[in-house]
């Protein structure tokens, strides 16, 4: 979750004898510039910080000039000048601004400025035809280029793995096609390789019998189409008797009975931990050899069928299996990479960001869930929210609180790009300093702009709800850029500030204007607000 809206309230200590302010005009035309001048008379050791920001009240700061310094014996006169304007007619007020002298707040005077409309006489004014709109060239959005390159890279990786696996499978198939001309040749070669391992001589009797019977089962399955690998020993014996009768295989009963005996011995070794003697193992191996050769000779088929049977059946099975591998392995690799990317965004952007922008979590669903009513901060403010607000901690700020601030806490849910977000700030003071609510709202609006809010419209009025809760409110709209979709989002907001003798609470409610359910969430949160007395 994105952390934002970090701000603090500072106490005001009067230094009126050190600060003077003036404007060079109290009436201007729309868009005309006038100047605000602030002078600070201080000693050479004093540290002075003049106000800064894009707006002073509803007047836009066009230019902030460098500070001029005039030395007078052991004193300095610091002169800071600002160029201001407004593009709508009306009466505007430059609020009392804060100048910090050695970290102590000193306020300037406030000034009223009238912005007059420009009257255009269309009878005397020379008029020109309206020109057609020329669309400006839009700069390249590098984010989308990186996304396209990333997706193309994943596609290339998938196809690369597909063809790499296919090439290896083709080479392996060609080698096996040369090596094994028929099922019996394959089985006899596997039996020779089994003997070279000397498994039973090393005490690995169970493994030896498993591989011995698997070789026989594979041959039976390939040569007679009996499902040998999936059958128990008794089921295989019964299936072989049926196949011999149906396919007219001229196999003696003694060979079939000897094969059944080997299967029984293998079951005893594998499941009953039987330990046959060496000569018994050798006899079982000979029985398998005899059985496979006799069965292969007894199967009634032509020489051509003998040569093609294995190739056709195995080719069909292998191709099906290999095709599945060629698809599953690249798909798994690409899916794993996408999962890593999702985890990366979840860690860096926050789970809420992933849920809101990828998983489609909506304000409508939260309206139907059970809400949570909690007290936050000191002095506490009680509100009901769809999710618990999470405490936002900044150790640097907590360790550098101004002298008159006892504690400051902030809690938040969502971010400025979500369908809705909530930020709650409480500040407890060590004394009964009176909080300037208008100045607090001004600071809050600057923080909103610092977060990337553009085209902010502002309306300020006194706030009072049916429960008698009073304070100041700023509300309006702004636009924010969504980098994932490269589009401007129209947002609505409300900022409420409340003051108590030894504390203050500030509440930010931000929502997407085109989401009626987000607006309902905000209304429901606002209706639940209750203030608690500050701790003494």
CATH classification at residue 441: 3.40.1000
Q: Which long-range contacts (CB under 8 A, 24 or more apart) does 91-96 make?
A: 91/115, 92/57, 92/58, 92/59, 93/57, 94/23, 94/36, 94/56, 94/57, 94/59, 95/56, 95/57, 95/438, 95/439, 95/442, 96/436, 96/439
381-440 pLDDT per residue, tens:
888 888 788 888 766 666 677 777 777 888 888 765 567 788 888 888 777 666 778 888
143 inside domain: no
Rounded average pLDDT over 518-534? 80
149 inside domain: no
Q: What are phi and psi of 483, to 5 degrees?
A: -65, -25
Q: Which of 274, 300, 326 represents a domain boundary (last residue)?
A: 300
Nearest to 78 by CA among 95, 101, 60: 101
Question: Does 89 lie in the same domain as 234?
Answer: no
Q: What is the C-alpha separation between 193 and 213, in angstroms, rounded?
A: 14
161-216 pLDDT per residue, tens:
888 887 887 777 665 554 555 788 888 888 888 998 888 998 899 999 999 999 98
End-to-end CA distance of the chain: 34
Question: Does 503 lie in the same domain as 381?
Answer: yes
122 inside domain: no
Q: Which of 91, 116, 141 represents a domain boundary (last residue)?
A: 116
Helix axes 205-224, 183-197, angle to 10 degrees: 180
What is the pLDDT at residue 142? Answer: 55
Contact 245, 298 (CB under 8 A): no
264-286 pLDDT per residue, tens:
988 998 888 888 898 988 999 99
453 inside domain: yes
Q: How many domains does the chain divide into?
A: 3
Residue 421, both tokens:
């977000």
208 inside domain: yes
130 inside domain: no
Residue 423, both tokens:
């930020």
Give the range with max mean pLDDT: 150-159, 205-214, 482-491, 512-521: 205-214
What is the pLDDT at residue 9? Answer: 33
165 inside domain: no
Q: Is the pLDDT of residue 345 over 80?
A: no
Give the range with max mean pLDDT: 14-23, 89-98, 387-396: 89-98
Q: Which of 116, 146, 171 represents a domain boundary (last residue)?
A: 116
324 inside domain: no
Question: Does 504 lie in the same domain as 383?
Answer: yes
| DSSP helix/strand/coil, 49 | strand
What is the pLDDT at residue 125? Answer: 43
The CATH number covering residue 77 comes to 2.60.40.10
Contact 309, 301 (CB under 8 A): yes
Bridge partners, 99 (sequence order): 106
Query: How would you label 318-338 residue by residue, b for 16+ Cβ within 10 Å and e otherwise?
Result: eeeebeeebeeebeeeeeeee
Residue ranges making up the domain that contains 228 = 180-300
């Amino acid at each position: 979750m994105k952390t934002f809206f970090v701000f603090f309230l500072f106490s005001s200590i009067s230094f009126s004898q050190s600060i003077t302010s003036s404007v060079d005009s109290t009436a201007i035309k729309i868009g005309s510039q006038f100047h605000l001048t602030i002078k600070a008379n201080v000693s050479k050791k004093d540290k002075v910080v003049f106000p800064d920001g894009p707006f002073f009240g509803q007047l836009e700061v066009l230019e902030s000039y460098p500070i001029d310094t005039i030395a007078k014996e052991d004193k300095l006169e610091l002169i800071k000048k600002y160029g201001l304007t407004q593009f709508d007619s009306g009466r505007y007020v430059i609020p009392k601004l804060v100048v910090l002298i050695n970290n102590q707040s000193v306020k300037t005077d406030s000034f009223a400025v009238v912005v007059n409309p420009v009257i255009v006489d269309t009878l005397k004014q020379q008029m020109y035809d309206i020109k057609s709109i020329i669309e400006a060239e839009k700069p390249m959005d590098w984010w989308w280029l990186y996304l396209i390159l990333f997706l193309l890279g994943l596609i290339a990786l998938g196809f690369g793995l597909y063809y790499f696996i296919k090439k290896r499978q083709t080479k392996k198939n060609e080698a096996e096609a040369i090596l094994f001309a028929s099922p019996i040749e394959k089985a006899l070669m596997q039996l020779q390789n089994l003997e070279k391992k000397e498994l039973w001589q090393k005490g690995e009797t169970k493994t030896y019998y498993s591989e011995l019977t698997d070789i026989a089962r594979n041959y039976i399955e390939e040569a007679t189409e009996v499902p040998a690998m999936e059958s128990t020993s008794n089921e295989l014996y019964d299936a072989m008797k049926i196949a011999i009768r149906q396919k007219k295989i001229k196999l003696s009963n003694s060979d079939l009975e000897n094969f059944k005996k080997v299967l029984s011995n293998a079951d005893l070794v594998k499941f009953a931990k039987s330990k046959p003697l060496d000569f018994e193992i050798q006899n079982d191996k000979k029985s398998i050899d005899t059985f496979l050769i006799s069965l292969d000779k007894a199967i009634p088929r032509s020489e051509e069928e003998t040569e093609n049977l294995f190739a056709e059946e195995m080719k069909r099975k292998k191709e099906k299996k290999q095709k599945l591998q060629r698809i599953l392995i690249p798909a798994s690799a690409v899916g794993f990479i996408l999962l890593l990317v999702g985890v990366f965004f979840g860690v860096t952007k926050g789970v809420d960001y992933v849920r809101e922008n990828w998983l489609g979590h909506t304000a409508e669903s939260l309206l139907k869930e059970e809400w949570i009513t909690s007290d936050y901060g000191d002095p506490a403010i009680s509100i009901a929210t769809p999710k618990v607000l999470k405490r936002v901690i900044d150790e640097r700020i907590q360790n550098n609180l101004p002298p008159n601030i006892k504690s400051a806490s902030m809690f938040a849910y969502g971010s400025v790009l979500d369908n809705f977000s909530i930020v709650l700030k409480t500040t407890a003071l060590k004394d009964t300093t009176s909080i300037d609510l208008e100045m607090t709202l001004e600071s809050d609006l600057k923080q909103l702009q610092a977060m990337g809010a553009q085209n902010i419209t502002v309306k300020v009025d006194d706030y009072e709800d049916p429960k008698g809760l009073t304070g100041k409110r700023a509300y309006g709209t702004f636009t924010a850029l969504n980098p994932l979709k490269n589009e401007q989002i129209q947002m609505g907001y409300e900022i409420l500030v409340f003051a108590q003798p030894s504390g203050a609470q500030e509440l930010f409610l931000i929502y997407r204007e085109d989401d009626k359910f987000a607006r309902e969430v905000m209304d429901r949160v606002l209706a639940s607000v209750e203030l608690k007395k500050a701790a003494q």
